[in-house]
Amino acid sequence: MKANHLPGLNTRQLVITLLIVATATGANLWLHRNALPLDQARFSEYGFSIEYPRIYEYHNWGRPDGSTGPNEFGGGVQFKKYWEGTWNNVMIEWNLETSTPDLEARLDEFYVSMDNSGCHIDEKYEQVLSEKDGYQMLQQTYTFTEETFSAGGARFIATTGVWCQPWPSLHSNRLYIFTYITFLENTSTQQVNETFQHYLNILDTQT
């Protein structure tokens, strides 16, 4: 039986064409190897980066003393979404530290700032020592009520992790406070900790 060939192409031309297509495809895959899924976005500023769902809203604020920011010295960013009775909120706060801070004291200060903003702690679970990128981290899960969120208030569950790491560009240390928050009625302690860990893992503080 006589072999069928594409009209106008001999075997050598066909091989060359296939090689060109394969090379172009490989080059395209290489160029886009770090591309995000279409439903994801990447925030990269102030010395760290994190990926988050594109539908989330972004907000930021300055240093705790209200002097400047957000900038390399301090501030906070938030990625959140509220829809159909579901609430997801990822917060990252950072501040310059000239010495190694007491992590438990910094976590207590964070709770005081929450209370001052109308978020009243209802219950705290056991504190856990773990690590982020090789640095000791203190984390805790807790529930709180925010009176102004809705009529009668709303109850939330959150996990917060606090750690400190060197910040060479300013010849000092940087304290991170990382928090994940969701509605208490929609999740369990295990689920909130798993989601907290997911976002913590994709937070790159070595940028």
Average per-residue pLDDT for the chain = 85
The single-letter code of the amino acid at 141 is T
CATH homologous superfamily for the domain 40-202: Mog1/PsbP, alpha/beta/alpha sandwich (3.40.1000.10)
> pLDDT at residue 126 above 60?
yes
Res. 17 pLDDT band, cuts 50 70 90:
low
What distance in Å separates the CA atoms of residue 136 and residue 91, rounded to the nearest whole number? Answer: 19
- Over residues 109-128, mean pLDDT: 94
Q: Is residue 14 within a helix (H) or strand (E), and if so which, with residue range? A: helix 11-31
The pLDDT of residue 147 is 83
- Over residues 25-33, mean pLDDT: 46
Sequence-distant (≥ 6) Cβ neighbours of residue 206 within 8 angstroms: 133
Residue 170 CA from chain centroid, whole number: 23
The pLDDT of residue 178 is 98
Q: Bridge partners of 146?
A: 119, 154
The two structure tokens encoding residue 163:
């750690």
The pLDDT of residue 152 is 74
What distance in Å separates the CA atoms of residue 74 and residue 169, rounded to the nearest whole number? Answer: 14
What distance in Å separates the CA atoms of residue 140 and residue 117, rounded to the nearest whole number? Answer: 19
In contact, 144 and 120? CB cutoff 8 Å: yes
Q: What is the pLDDT of residues 149-179, one digit of tens each?
A: 777 789 999 999 999 999 988 889 999 999 9
Handedness of CA 133, 101, 94, 157 (dihedral sign): positive
Q: Which residue has 């929450």 as its token pair?
A: 114
| Residue 80 CB-density burial (10 A; 0-12 exposed, 13-18 middle, 19+ buried) | middle
